[in-house]
A and B are shown apart, each in its own frame.
Chain A
Amino acid sequence: MNTFLWLVKREFWEHRGGFLRAPVITAAIFLLLNLMGIVTGEVMGRQMGFQLGIGSNNLHLLTRDLDQQSMEAVGAGLDLVMYSSTMIISIVLGFVVFFYCLGALYDDRRDRSILFWKSLPVSDTATVLSKVFSATVVAPLIAVVVGALTGIVMLLMFAITLSLHGVSVWHLLSLSHPLRVITNLVGSIPLYVLWALPTVGWLMLCSAWARSKPFLWAVALPVGVGIVIGWFNLLGTLNISNDWYWRGVVARILGSVFPGGWFSEVSGIGGDNPAQVLSTLSVMHSYSAMGSMNLWIGVAAAAAMLAGAIWFRRWRDDS
């Protein structure tokens, strides 16, 4: 177990840029843009002679007189603000994990440092699994922590701005649910692991197998097959559903590292107001994706592809 921990640390050292710096930089840019937005709002507001809070006490009154339902809506809106930063970071995370997996078992063969790693008493299985763990647990965990912190900072930024206008936003803020947001985000990591596995497995298989240009193989192969299927369909000689192939295979082996894909397997998403929508997106609800065949077929396929990756890792040398 100790070896595994150090293997994961090794991955983190090598990919600090993608795992840590990428989400932090994204968060910083996100916060900066929001700050610029707030400043713009302030300046424009002043130029237009519109004084929030002081000029009219509407907002103030509003916060006092919110009925139950609107309070929920405001709380949900604030929660959305917190989610929004994580959503942006999630997209970055998707790209980071995609390219990480693609290089994980290829880069060290290319620069021959595999000869060093293989001179240590570490099994190929442990090596590959440590990389899977880094991609599906370490990277998303860091992204979620950074995302949640960014969300909280953003909430405070809005609160401070509003309080400059005499609005008691601390009351407003107390309507939001930071803990629930964080629980939902952290709680979806296990779901992410299961959902992302087929993509991670496919990319790592290509990464372990390709003698050169793993990206081309990983992308061109499934896309090429899809085009051939489409062509046969046009000719009417083959009866494989195009749509099924693109959504059930290509999207799963290339796109599932982007978080949230599992919502396609969750029924009853939506609602009349933001609070309801959010609650259908909550972690408790989204775990109903665990009941879908799509998810488990993906996991089974991933197990096979990772076994293949381990096998290639064993026998592909640098020559």
Chain B
Amino acid sequence: MDNKSMKGWLYLLPAIFFLGVFMVYPLADVFIYSFEEGYNSASQTFFGIGGYNYSYVLHDPYFLQALKNTFLLVVITVPVSTLIALLISLGLTSITKLRDLYQTIFFLPYVTNTLAIGLVFMILFKKTPYSDGMVNMLLNLFGAGSVDFIDGPYWAKMTVLCIYTVWVVLPFKILILTSALLSVNQDYYNAARVDGTSKFRIFMRITLPMISPSIFYLVITGFIGAFKAYSDAVALFGTNLNAAGMNTIVGYVYDMLYGDSGGYPSYAAAAALILFVIVLTITCINMLIRRKHVYI
């Protein structure tokens, strides 16, 4: 190997070392874990090789609950947050005064600690014996009864989780859509206006096609992000998510690994791989749709 190649590999060495130890090796290892049956982390022994871990996980009611929660969260929050973000971005780009101020405010949730702000959402929604909380007060104003959103019925807990998730993911979406909208060439709009095209038609025929790559990017990252939801749920419902019935797939993986219910890396590996396959499938489907509908 010549001098230059030596130098190249030398510069790359630290990165290769860290990636090798903490990414490539674990990747191979996680497959092995997921097929080792009856693995004991204390003695590092196992009985045999097979698909038992997968079957255990797929029959575990906690996992099925986590699967249901995660799917609901994905199906609700991805479209809702993308639509709200589109609406707000359209508003932002149609004004010039105060745009920077609004943009800065809207981005604020991105830099906050999910766990910390989740606690604020919890006390806003929580109903305790000595107070119904902020949100219930508003509900009462509109004549609705009080609901405990944190320890109450399933739909109420799901609602808070969705609201908080949307609140957390919106900054990123607004940012991406606003810059996409601003980069659309004004000539198209002027030409359409000269032809007397209606606003709705301009939006459907010019704006939407021009920003479709960004929308698809947001949908794909939104799906991936929502499938990996975890810390939002912890922030609202505490670390024992199984007891609250609000666990997510990622939460299930971590609970299997560590904590009161932990010590089962094989089950954790199987669940993580199931999650990976789900995310991969959905991303591929998205890509196929994208090829059909995105114009650029």
**Bound together:** no
- A residues neighboring B (CB under 8 Å): none
- B residues neighboring A (CB under 8 Å): none
